Amino acid sequence: MGFADILNYSGIAVFAATGALSASRKQMDIIGFLFLAVVTAVGGGTFRDLILGNLPVFWVVNPIYIMVCAGVAVLLFFTAHLLESRYVWLLWLDAIGLAAYCVIGAQKGLETSGSPTVAIVTGVLTAAFGGILRDLLTGEPSVLLRPEIYVTAALAGAGAYTALVQLDLSYALSAALGALVAFAIRGGALKFGWRLTGYRQRPGRHPDDIPSMRR
Amino acid sequence: MGFADILNYSGIAVFAATGALSASRKQMDIIGFLFLAVVTAVGGGTFRDLILGNLPVFWVVNPIYIMVCAGVAVLLFFTAHLLESRYVWLLWLDAIGLAAYCVIGAQKGLETSGSPTVAIVTGVLTAAFGGILRDLLTGEPSVLLRPEIYVTAALAGAGAYTALVQLDLSYALSAALGALVAFAIRGGALKFGWRLTGYRQRPGRHPDDIPSMRR
Amino acid sequence: MGFADILNYSGIAVFAATGALSASRKQMDIIGFLFLAVVTAVGGGTFRDLILGNLPVFWVVNPIYIMVCAGVAVLLFFTAHLLESRYVWLLWLDAIGLAAYCVIGAQKGLETSGSPTVAIVTGVLTAAFGGILRDLLTGEPSVLLRPEIYVTAALAGAGAYTALVQLDLSYALSAALGALVAFAIRGGALKFGWRLTGYRQRPGRHPDDIPSMRR
């Protein structure tokens, strides 16, 4: 089992856990736990494989990933109530998953296209997709819309990995450093509320409050 | 026309009807009926074909499926107001579609991968996808978050089908029994409010109400 | 650079702008602008390529599309506050994108399948997908649910293009006329509030208000 497998299984397991925690917050039954664990965990990688044309997708080729999700979901069904704050756990596990997936996504993108630009985009999309899907499905406030930086961490991790590979660093070292960068940034954002300052910010009005849209 | 085709066309027609009913509840125009009928009906199968790499997807290969959706949408545009409760119809037709699609999804998954695990997952995802998409697009309360069992019915149907095929039952009999199992469970849930009991349930707090997340 | 490329780059640029405007309305940081610009702009074409099996998708093959999105996002990050109403700009740029993408989607669908029905469906889905995704991700009121016609414009444009190609008009002329039809209809809807009249409309009740659903 190489470093890529370790990242893959870590990403799967922690994203599955965030899906299960989200199911727990919505008081779903055990099948809801399984469903959300699977969808959140394999969502990013499925999307990545579709875009790159690696079909059938990874978990159809190797169903052990599904078993890992199922195991995590069952475990959390019986233990989630023991956690003091499931949402805080969800955010931190999501940060680990983000770190693992931005590197894997970038690596597969680079492999398929040879383009660093594509690598960064597939890295970000792979990392963000599972969490966005989970939040859409359960009606949680989307991680994407939370004030602290989220996509930025994925972008930095995917960018660091891609740059290091271009500098001929070994795959494992580039991947480890890329994941570390992403986790440090997302973790700092969670712990200290880091955010990028906007340029000139003002909130959008609701369409009904825009005079020229009334008739 | 074999049993698989019957299941396929039934699934398409009833999911198209649920999409049209949802459009009617949102007072859309006839094009909105057509759009939601098509998206809801072909959503699950499109997703299944993508994951398994059966491209182009089924309705590009055989556009008659689109015609069926269009016919159903037009019919319901002129008749939906006659129904006493469109939402109750929507839920029951959705139950039929769920039953048909969990079997078809499992069958295609088994065919492509040979893995019962994959078959069950593609069965559940195919069955649940159209309804989830419809509810996301129209802002209906998601079937996924309704208290009674939903995904469970799809899982049971896909599981029953897959098990029976492994026991060397004929395809048609396994499919019929699988669909029956799924429909009986979802129908019972709708009629009697069946739900799986949780283990230790408590609702999640809104992020703003979690002390450690304030700063 | 042929007419197809012009349509493609126009669609990309204006949809990227709508994504960035949506990010601005939600007071996101610059990375949020980049993310939403990319997702909105390449969403429709990605979906089209997946369905038709043109893999890897267009922007993996030709990453310059991503650069265009990034440029638009950065530009709008520094200038969006200068616009009097970002939402009105968003709707009009979305109308241009809709017009470009319904034709491109129809053209690719026709090329792959040879079926006018498929061409119209891929035209509509390609045109509507980016905007729907953007609104789902940012929690804006969906363009799909706004009262004026939206999908209708895409349908008319895709239909006009497909019909003209069947009549052996040149590709460029059919495409220009198809895009014009779509833009004229969507623009008229925005300017004059055009809407198709429903047949017999009544709003749907919330599930909790339906007597037979209480227990």
Over residues C194-205, the pLDDT tens digits come to 888 777 777 888
CA distance B17 to chain C (A): 15
Q: What is the pLDDT of residues C67-120, one digit of tens each?
A: 999 999 999 999 988 887 888 899 999 999 999 999 999 999 999 999 999 999
Q: Chain A contact for C38, CB < 8 A?
A: yes
- The answer as to whether A204 is a domain residue is no
DSSP 8-state code for residue C196 = -
Between helices C116-138 and B30-52, what is the axis angle to 10°? 90
Closest CA to C162 of C111, C116, C126: C116
- The answer as to whether B207 is a domain residue is no
Q: Chain A contact for B201, CB < 8 A?
A: yes
SS3 category, A139: coil
Q: Give the residue from chain A lying closest to B119, CA to CA.
A: A60
Q: Chain B contact for A147, CB < 8 A?
A: no
Report how many Cβ contacts below 8 Å link chain A to chain C: 101
- A55: chain B residues, CB-CB within 8 Å: 50-53, 55
CA distance B23 to chain C (A): 9
Given a cut of 60, whether residue C215 has pLDDT beyond it is no
CA distance B169 to chain C (A): 33
CA distance A199 to chain C (A): 6
- B78: chain C residues, CB-CB within 8 Å: 199
Distance of alpha carbon C28 from alpha carbon A198, whole angstroms? 7
Q: Give the residue from chain C lying closest to B140, CA to CA.
A: C206
Q: How many residues does chain C have?
A: 215
Please, which residues have CB within 8 angstroms of residue B60's CB and are 6 or more apart in sequence?
A: C51, C52, C109, C112, C113, C115, C118, C122
Mind listing the pLDDT tens digit of every residue in chain B (215 residues)?
677 788 889 899 999 999 999 999 988 889 999 999 999 999 999 999 999 999 999 999 999 999 999 999 999 999 988 887 888 899 999 999 999 999 999 999 999 999 999 999 999 999 999 999 999 888 887 888 777 889 999 999 999 999 999 999 999 999 999 999 999 999 999 999 888 877 777 788 887 777 766 55
SS3 category, A200: coil
Q: Please identify which residue in the block is written with the tokens 């780059």.
A: C9
- The answer as to whether C190 is a domain residue is yes
**pLDDT given for residue C200 in this prediction:** 75
- The answer as to whether C164 is a domain residue is yes
| Nearest CB to A196 within list C31, C78, C87 | C31
- B39: chain C residues, CB-CB within 8 Å: 125
- The answer as to whether B109 is a domain residue is yes
- The answer as to whether C214 is a domain residue is no
- The answer as to whether B204 is a domain residue is no
- The answer as to whether A205 is a domain residue is no
Distance of alpha carbon C123 from alpha carbon C103, whole angstroms? 6
Q: Chain A contact for C67, CB < 8 A?
A: yes
User: For chain B, what is the domain count?
Assistant: 1
| Nearest CB to B26 within list C109, C155, C204 | C204
Q: Give the residue from chain B lying closest to A190, CA to CA.
A: B213
Distance of alpha carbon C134 from alpha carbon B100, whole angstroms? 32
By residue range, what is the domain housing residue A59?
3-194
Helices (H), chain C: 3-25, 30-52, 58-61, 64-79, 86-113, 116-138, 151-166, 171-192
